[in-house]
Amino acid sequence: MCGIVGHIGAGDSVDKVLEGLKRLEYRGYDSAGICFKNSAGDLSLFKKTGKLANLINLLNNQDHHSSSSVGHTRWATHGAVNDMNSHPHLYKNLAIVHNGIIENAEELRKGLTARGFKFTSDTDSEVFLGLLSFELEEGRDLLAATSNAFKKLKGSSAFVIQSSDSDGIVTIKRGAPLVCGINENLGEAMVSSDPYALIGFVEKIFFPDDDVMCFLSKGSINFYDLDGSPSTRYLAKDLETNFEISTKGQFEHYMLKEIYEQPVLIRKLSDIYLEGIDLELERPKRVHLVGCGTAFYAGMVVGQMLEKLLKIPVSLEFASEFRYKDPLLLPGDLAIFISQSGETADTLAAQKLCKDKGIKTISIVNVEGSTLFREVDQNFLIHAGQEIGVASTKAFTQQVLTGRIICEAFAGTKDFKSLKQKFSLLSHRIEELLNQAELFKEMAQKIYNFQGFFFTGRGPYYPVALEGALKLKEIAYVHAEGYAAGELKHGPIALIDEKMVNIAIVGPELFDKTVSNIQEIKARKGIIIGIGPDVADLRNICDLFIPLTFEGLEELSPLYVNVANQLLSYHIAKQKGTDIDRPRNLAKSVTVE
Ligand code: M6R
């Protein structure tokens, strides 16, 4: 979603903001802009649709020496993708950038138009600019005006406000991510929607709570509640200086690099959690597993483990459904929220609902310090490192494994020897799979032009069929559907012909039944790509085949299969020449509902 970076301090402010925006490119965006205080003390605005490089080109021939600037990458919600709707929005001596949605924008727009405010864009964001300008015209200072204008908005939003009349930058947020940071030595302060943009620039970061205004000036930040009184409602944290900016290294794409990181990360997770630390967790009566997209599918695998290994009843929900369905929450229930970013708007809203109803909440999360991390009662970090590719890969594996570790915690296990062996075996088998890149490349060359794909699987392989289809859709822009193999004949089989590819996942469980399902597709001329144990009964009915060795992996085997799906999707997308790391229309972290 939209990326925000603001800076105040030394004269290379624009360069620092552009560097910050560059780091946020992975989140997905369609236009970029920057506003800075020029040498005359006025605000200069530059914005352009398309990649950040277009904005940088615009600035190349301009004097952009400045000690205060605010930048933005936009992911359109209200209004088409064009220069006019890009951020920042400027009115007289005032500029704003926005991440979120103003739900009552239409109503406010009518009122502002009636009062004579001239809108220059179709965005909801400009409504805040209008409100703010009237508050200032009525004689309020920037903080009081921000507070008054913000109180009129409905929905989740984060804003950064810059005025040529102020020597600071003001921020305000509710339900959308925002982090500030300072470097006292250099006399600088920064703000962003993502801590990643601040690494290396600041030494200390602050996560303001909702409805807290931050006033950033050179080397300091002051916090205020909406009534203007000083606020202590923020979390302060020293920034790890050893946090490395992720690079692609020898890989062509971040996604591929992240797929290849998995064996090492699995071993790391095992070292962190399974080396005898006290993992005890009170066994709940029932578990609600909540997440979105890939995190939801990870929850599906974890849910099956909880039911199978521990006989704990599970309810699995998309966060966007859970938050509005008035869920049945009972004493003794536990809610587990799964999220890579920890900033997904629906997941956060679902967690808040549980918290408000007195249900204990825990996270399976990657980003330490994220909103989810701060809001839950207990965190289980997945230790995946930064995931840059919009299509989630390594996070899925780590989420499921962390869920598996939580099962041990519920069981009160003290000896993790057998689980450690399984983790190690999984890591090893994935390594072997990753060494077969040629197999996936050749397969992709044969099938990349097909337009329809079914991923099928039964039992523990059904969630990875869903996840496999999601991956292919996201990065290859083809229609792909995940289906429970036994369900195909209840309708979708009508779609099978010689133009449809079926990626058939076959594990040791329900082997014969799944093979029968494949026969049904073969009888209707569907192209079969089998992923399963190397046995003649299976191999001989497949047009193409990916042999896997399941022995010893047991409940972790869906993760092994999933890596095969990841590689296949990656190589199909590569053949098609899509923007693999930043697929069209997608955002890495979905901070609006
Ligand atoms: O950051 P989260 O894990 O909460 O994100 C959830 C989904 O938006 C995310 O998994 C999405 O589906 C990915 N693009 C999948 O590859």
**Can you tell me which residue has the tokens 């974890």?**
302
**Angstrom distances, CA of residue 346 to CA of 362, 463, 589:** 16, 21, 11
Q: CB of 569 closer than 6 A to ligand 1?
A: no
Which residue from 196, 253, 255, 344 has its CB within 8 A of the most atoms of ligand 1, so it is best to mutate?
344
Atom of ligand 1 nearest to the CA of 392: 16
> What are the DSSP calls for 507-539, one per residue?
-STTHHHHHHHHHHHHTTT-EEEEEEE--HHHH
- Distance between Cα 168 and ligand 1 center (Å): 35
Omega before residue 88 within 30° of 0, cis: yes
End-to-end CA, the chain: 11
Residue nearest to atom 11 of ligand 1 (CA): 293
Distance 39 CA to ligand 1 centre (A): 43
Judge if the beta carbon of residue 371 lies within 6 A of ligand 1. Answer: no
Q: Is the CB of residue 295 below 6 angstroms from any atom belonging to ligand 1?
A: yes
Query: Is the CB of residue 372 less than 8 Å from the CB of residue 347?
Result: yes
Q: Is the C-beta atom of 340 inside 6 A of ligand 1?
A: yes
| Residue 593 near ligand 1, beta carbon < 6 Å | no
Q: Report the atom number in ligand 1 closest to the C-alpha of 294.
A: 10
Task: Give the 3-state secondary structure percentages of the chain, helix then strand then coil, rounded to 5.
Answer: 40, 25, 35
Catalytic pick among 37, 173, 422, 588: 588
Rounded Cα gap, residues 590 and 520, in angstroms = 39
Q: Mean pLDDT, the chain, as a whole number?
A: 94
Distance 563 CA to ligand 1 centre (A): 17
The label of the residue with tokens 């920890």 reads 342
CA gap 112, 100 in Å, rounded: 20
**Binding site membership of 565 for ligand 1 (Cβ less than 6 Å):** no
For residue 247, give every residue at least 6 positions away whose Cβ sits within 8 Å of its Cβ, in sequence order, or none.
Answer: none
Give the model's pLDDT for residue 414. Answer: 86
Ordered alpha helix ranges (H), 123-253 = 125-137, 142-151
Q: Ligand 1 centroid vs 317 CA: distance in angstroms?
A: 14
Tell how far the Cα of 100 is from the centroid of ligand 1, in angstroms: 17
Is residue 441 flagged as an active site residue?
A: no
Which stretches in the chain have pLDDT values below 50? Answer: none
* pLDDT, tens digit (0-9, with 9 covering 90-100), for 528-546: 999 999 999 999 999 999 9
Is there an atom of ligand 1 within 6 Å of 382 CB? no
Residue (of 404, 354, 409) closest to 377 by Cα position? 354
Contact 500, 452 (CB under 8 A): yes
Q: How far, in Å, from the CA of 509 to the mean position of ligand 1?
A: 29
Which 8-state DSSP code applies to residue 66?
B
Residue pair 6/70 in contact (Cβ under 8 Å)? The answer is: yes
Please give the distance, rounded to the nearest whole angstrom, from the Cα atom of residue 306 to the centre of ligand 1.
Answer: 22
Question: Are the C-beta atoms of 300 and 466 separated by less than 8 Å?
Answer: yes
Asked whether 339 lines ligand 1 (CB < 6 A), one says yes
Residue 501 near ligand 1, beta carbon < 6 Å? no
Task: For ligand 1, say whether the CB of 475 is within 6 Å of any of its atoms.
Answer: no
What tokens appear for 581 in the block? 């790391």
Residue nearest to atom 12 of ligand 1 (CA): 293
32 lines ligand 1 (CB under 6 A): no
Q: In which region does residue 186 sit, left (phi positive, over 0), alpha (psi from -120 to 50) or beta (all else)? A: alpha
Question: Which of 2, 35, 292, 354 is flagged as catalytic?
Answer: 2
CA of 395 to the centre of ligand 1 (A): 9
Residues 167-218 have pLDDT tens digits of 999 999 998 999 999 999 999 999 999 988 998 999 999 999 999 999 999 9
Place of tokens 């095992």: 270
392, 397, 570, 584: which to mutate for ligand 1, most atoms within 8 A of CB?
A: 392
Would strands 68-74 and 3-8 be described as parallel, antiparallel, or unpaired? antiparallel
Ligand 1 centroid – CA 590 distance (Å) = 8
Does residue 319 line the site of ligand 1, with CB under 6 A? no
Cα–Cα distance list, 493 to 71, 138, 452 (Å) = 50, 66, 12
> Could you tell me the distance, in angstroms and rounded to a whole number, from the CA of residue 291 to the centre of ligand 1?
8
Does residue 474 have its Cβ closer than 6 Å to ligand 1? yes
Could you tell me if 251 and 260 are in contact, meaning their C-beta atoms sit under 8 angstroms apart? yes
The 3-state DSSP class for residue 81 equals coil
Strands 286-291 and 333-339: parallel
- Residue 393 Cβ inside 6 Å of ligand 1? The answer reads no
Annotate 185-197 with b (16+ C-beta within 10 A) or e (fewer).
eeebbbbbbbbbb
Give pTM, 2 decimals: 0.87
Q: Active site includes 588?
A: yes
Ligand 1 atom nearest to 340, measured from its CA: 3
For ligand 1, atom 4, the nearest C-alpha belongs to 339
Q: Which domains does the chain have, with CATH numbers?
A: 3-241 (3.60.20.10), 248-429 (3.40.50.10490), 436-593 (3.40.50.10490)
Write the pLDDT tens digit of every residue in 249-280: 899 999 999 999 999 999 999 999 998 767 77
